Amino acid sequence: GGAECAGHADSNAFSVLTMNLGHGRGKGFHQLTQSSGEIVSNLDDILVLLDQEAPDIAAFQEIDAPSIWSGRFNHIDYLGERGRFCTSIRGSHVEMMGLSYGTALLSRLELSNPLAVTFAPPLTTVPTGFVVSTVRLPGRKGFDIDVVSAHLDFLSRSIRKKQVDELIALLRARGKHVIIMGDLNSTWSAQGSTVQYLMDKLALKAYQPDSGELVTFPSLGRRLDWVLVSAAFEFDSYRVVGSGLSDHSGVLARLVLAPVD
């Protein structure tokens, strides 16, 4: 919910941001060790980033609905209302013992056909999943884009591959242009890279995929967070942003479409 979506000036360009919020703990060791006031302050730091960068669509992972360990309030609504987004969709992939968290999309463009999917239960400790919703750029009749916020398993490459197969099957069935954002817990160069596999199967593009500069998980020096796009899009710019706001940095990409004849 939120304000009515006011539309978008440029039908050929828009910007997207993705970030794993780590339950709003900021630089803290664990969200349980922080007061709700500290969590609010951490989210306010995220809002400063959203204000500076003004993405049209933001994808978040490890974002909490009311949870006992992170202040008992809805972080998606908090960011959505204060971040000037008009609409949001969330998927809670973990719902247990007073916890509710998962993935979300916050958008300044109208979202339609929303779907939240928790991946089929693998042999893993923490369920993950994705949300997907369709965006239509103004002035672009029939040009529908499925935007995804995804979080893949952090432990096992074979589980990640199964999860990605589930995502691929769904997106193929929906049959739209695609932007996949999120914490894919995979680097480009790793053997059997989940990122490479996903890009290959859906014919997606990444920005300088083999660059060593775009680290999003500083403690391990790895690029785990990605924006992957269909062939209809070009990257106008691509930056790592928001260092220190979570254990992950964010990524901001400005995407352009080939102009309509």
* Residue range 129-186, pLDDT digits in tens: 999 999 988 778 888 999 999 999 999 999 999 999 999 999 999 999 999 999 999 9
**Interatomic CA distance for residues 251 and 261, integer angstroms:** 31
**pLDDT(39) > 80:** yes
203-216: pLDDT as tens digits: 999 999 999 899 99
Is 142 buried (19+), middle (13-18) or exposed (0-12) by CB count in 10 A?
exposed
53-93: pLDDT as tens digits: 999 999 999 999 999 999 999 999 999 999 989 999 999 99
pTM of the model: 0.95
Write out the two tokens for 117.
Answer: 């999917």
**pLDDT(1) > 60:** no
Read off the amino acid at residue 166: E
**Interatomic CA distance for residues 132 and 114, integer angstroms:** 6
pLDDT at 260: 64
